[in-house]
Amino acid sequence: MSLADGLPEDWKEVLHDAIHAPSFKELEKFVRKERQEHTVFPSEDDLFSAFRFTPYADVRVLLLGQDPYHGPGQAHGLAFSVQPGVPPPPSLVNMFKELQSDVGAPKPRDGSLIPWAKQGVFLLNTVLTVRQASPNSHAKHGWEPFTDAVIRAVSAKEDPVVFLLWGKPAQKKKALIDAKRHIVLEGVHPSPLSASKGFFGSKPYSTTNAALKKHGQHTIDWELPS
């Protein structure tokens, strides 16, 4: 069974070259071995959740994360999001604080960002798997060429997309984006280490909606069930 079997057909089409590249074959071997020997998050079923909830044609915002949460029950294939019923990790708590101050949305009842994904907010991590309790353990094993291809594919869309790049690792991906056609919003990462250095007060949600509106796109309803 190929790792790419879990990708929806529309994404398989635009990522054809990436999933047939030698680096992807190596990645498949690595992930298979890791799953045999360790606990790996997210589950195989959730690996491509972001692609399933946000079809290629529907992507209007791309929010780039790094690698998945590495605690039990947290990661479910959407950057920054946790499964319903799981307490939001610190970065997500900070995102919700800014959400409240930016657009007046009440505190969400849980940390699931599925409602955003269903509106065209593509929640992509640069690395899609992680070993339990071992952050960045799956970095530099082949996910990056794949997710770079994903970013390029979104950049190839004709309609303008808003790219939210928070923190230096995300901002390094700016070179993959056609900034003449799309809107790139760079900012501070919401992690506790940096949120007070410019994430709070940056109004990323209303700024994104203003950019979408300016380009004739539907805005995002950022308010989550409370």
CATH superfamily of 3-215: Uracil-DNA glycosylase-like domain (3.40.470.10)
| pLDDT reported for residue 28 | 97
74 pLDDT tier (thresholds 50, 70, 90) = very high
Interval 74-99 mean pLDDT: 97
Give ∠ CA 58-90-221 in degrees, rounded to 5: 30
The 10s digit of each residue's pLDDT in 33-49 is: 999 999 999 999 999 99
Mean pLDDT of the chain: 97
| pLDDT reported for residue 5 | 95
Q: What is the number of alpha carbons within 13 Å of residue 85 lying toward its C-beta?
A: 2
Contact criterion met (CB below 8 Å) for 78 and 118: no
Domain ranges of the chain: 3-215
1 pLDDT tier (thresholds 50, 70, 90) = confident
The 10s digit of each residue's pLDDT in 13-34 is: 999 999 999 999 999 999 999 9
pLDDT > 90? residue 99: yes
pTM over 0.85, yes/no? yes
What is the rounded (10 degree) CA torsion for 61, 62, 64, 69? 80
The 10s digit of each residue's pLDDT in 104-161 is: 999 999 999 999 999 999 999 999 999 999 999 999 999 999 999 999 999 999 999 9
Catalytic residues, by residue number, are: 67
As a whole number of angstroms, the distance between CA 147 and CA 126 comes to: 6
| pLDDT reported for residue 109 | 94
The 10s digit of each residue's pLDDT in 208-225 is: 999 999 999 999 999 999
| Residue 14, burial from CB neighbour count under 10 angstroms (0-12, 13-18, 19+) | middle
Contact criterion met (CB below 8 Å) for 70 and 42: no
Give the number of other CB atoms < 10 A from CB of residue 9: 8
